[in-house]
Structure 1
């Protein structure tokens, strides 16, 4: 591997480093007295979204799409900082109950709107490609997550749902709803065509909406949505692990994607064993929520995104070497 290639590999995750440092401080310093859901929202703003941006494609011939992509890259960190200031104003600076936290949250809302617009243009330009439609849908779900965050910061009661439900809905759309379609889309870019793949994409788009509607209006709808969504992730992880085993050259990608799949299966196992563990260790669901959240956010989502960034780079390198 020559020096320029090594430098390019090292520079892959450079856009994420400032946000990563900020997130570590947020999680570990007492100066930031945030609730866990708020910390996860900030993790999404500072780290998850920049990694997603690295996975996006755009048409060089489409000036509008190229312009929106450039705006997304430049505005992500300022929007994340506004999100942090919004949460600080409501938790540390004594401005909770005023309109200021909500007004500051509009920065993230407008940024996620930009992501949503980019997602819609991706879906329109996909020309029936299920993988790109899935990624576009994931970007649109970021915008819905932004709406829930703004409702949370304004302390508004929508659909008779509690403010805490708004925060949970925001986390749900920033992590599960947005990320799983993007993962499914990334898989679709590298896999051979399968007749079942468009059905997986369709469920991925519908499932998050069922979960969100169920969280507010009907628990049975939520349970159905969660079941469909979980089954989809099982299909995704199973096929992905099979692909990685057949293609051992993507070493860094294999490592992180393997960790991502392992984190998901760990969540499943803990969920199955929860009744037993609750009795043995006298634990409550509140004790398990941080464990589930960390495994999902840092394990499944974060490791998965890093893995897909390296996978994309690895495939580009192979194509470049093949064309020489």
Structure 2
């Protein structure tokens, strides 16, 4: 765990400063994008594994580990250029964002190598697809920083699409894939993976072109997360996973169910306290980013690290 902690602490400190210092006049979406770049992606790297015999995959993985933090700094410089330095009307923020785009491209390439080298194993396809979605998130981030109007969508929509692909679209398939690595395979598991891969595309298309398509994608995706969290909680209760990770994984599941409860109660709370959807966005975002995603990744990192230690002891 120590190398991973060393990688995430600087990014964590930067993220805290971004959220709490007025020096960073970022909107909430930009803050969460920086959180993804500095904290979420390093944790994702911590749960990845590569084939020691595959030199190309090993080289790409080494490049990903080396370039993550510099690429995140370029993403931060890109947003600061448009927000703090008054360069929003120039191409400089967009040019700086290319560093993050190229890094997510590497993640996407690595995801494809996982899919190809694992020869059709469903859980690995899910993890590989999640990494490819990071690249799509990088594309949307660059479009946002260049302030392009693509498909008649405003740049703010590009920012939301980038956030969608950096969090839900990328993380949920990775979670499903990690669960698939440790669970006894069920007949329904490939269907869950398929929906996890198709759902984000439907949501992204819906955001730009059609609200009904977006609603269908969100519903399918939410049902999949419900299946994942329900099965995971049952798995944890049986003690099938390592106890050290239980605390964070349970928090992750509870965060998801809290989001569901808040969503169901939204109409009532809105009328009782004169709240708007904008009042709920920070609540939804925090529960999803810090609760479901962050706690879930920490839990899975603990599991992967413990399994590696057990494997080494078995070999020795």
TM-score bucket (shorter structure):
over 0.9
Structure-2 residue corresponding to 1:243 = 235
1:86 counterpart SS class:
helix
- Give, in angstroms, the shift of residue 216 of structure 1: 0.5
Cα pair 1:60 1:66 within 8 Å, conserved: yes
Structure-2 residue corresponding to 1:207 = 199
Structure-2 residue corresponding to 1:22 = 14
Structure-1-length-normalised TM-score:
0.95
Structure-1 residue corresponding to 2:210 = 218
Query: Is the counterpart of residue 254 in structure 1 residue 246 in structure 2?
Result: yes
Structure-1 residue corresponding to 2:68 = 76
Q: Which of 61, 77, 80 is the equivalent residue of 2:53?
A: 61
Structure-2 residue corresponding to 1:43 = 35
Structure-2 residue corresponding to 1:181 = 173
Query: Is the counterpart of residue 117 in structure 1 residue 128 in structure 2?
Result: no
| Structure 2: segments with no counterpart, 5+ residues | none
Structure-1 residue corresponding to 2:261 = 269
Between 154-163 and 310-319, the greater mean CA deviation after superposition:
310-319
Structure-1 residue corresponding to 2:93 = 101
Query: Is the counterpart of residue 302 in structure 1 residue 286 in structure 2?
Result: no
| Structure 1: segments with no counterpart, 5+ residues | 1-8
Between 245-254 and 46-55, the greater mean CA deviation after superposition:
245-254
Structure-2 residue corresponding to 1:52 = 44
Structure-1 residue corresponding to 2:278 = 286
Query: Is the counterpart of residue 232 in structure 1 residue 224 in structure 2?
Result: yes
CA distance in 1, matches of 2:201, 2:97: 23
Query: Is the counterpart of residue 131 in structure 1 residue 123 in structure 2?
Result: yes
Q: Deviations over 1:25-64 (max 9, x none)?
A: 1111111110100001100100000000011111111111
Q: Which of 152, 157, 166 is the equivalent residue of 1:160?
A: 152
CA distance in 2, matches of 1:249, 1:160: 47
Q: Deviations over 1:74-132 (max 9, x none)?
A: 00000000000000000010001110000000000000000000011111112111011
CA distance in 2, matches of 1:56, 1:290: 30
Between 297-306 and 249-258, the greater mean CA deviation after superposition:
249-258
Cα pair 1:248 1:254 within 8 Å, conserved: no
Cα pair 1:80 1:108 within 8 Å, conserved: yes
- Give, in angstroms, the shift of residue 193 of structure 1: 1.3
CA distance in 2, matches of 1:102, 1:173: 19
- Give, in angstroms, the shift of residue 247 of structure 1: 1.4
CA distance in 2, matches of 1:104, 1:215: 26
CA distance in 2, matches of 1:265, 1:315: 28
Structure-2-length-normalised TM-score:
0.98
Q: Which of 57, 66, 82 is the equivalent residue of 1:90?
A: 82
Query: Is the counterpart of residue 191 in structure 1 residue 177 in structure 2?
Result: no
CA distance in 2, matches of 1:188, 1:63: 26
- Give, in angstroms, the shift of residue 321 of structure 1: 4.1
Cα gap change, 1:247 to 1:319, in 2 (>3 Å): farther
Cα pair 2:4 2:43 within 8 Å, conserved: no
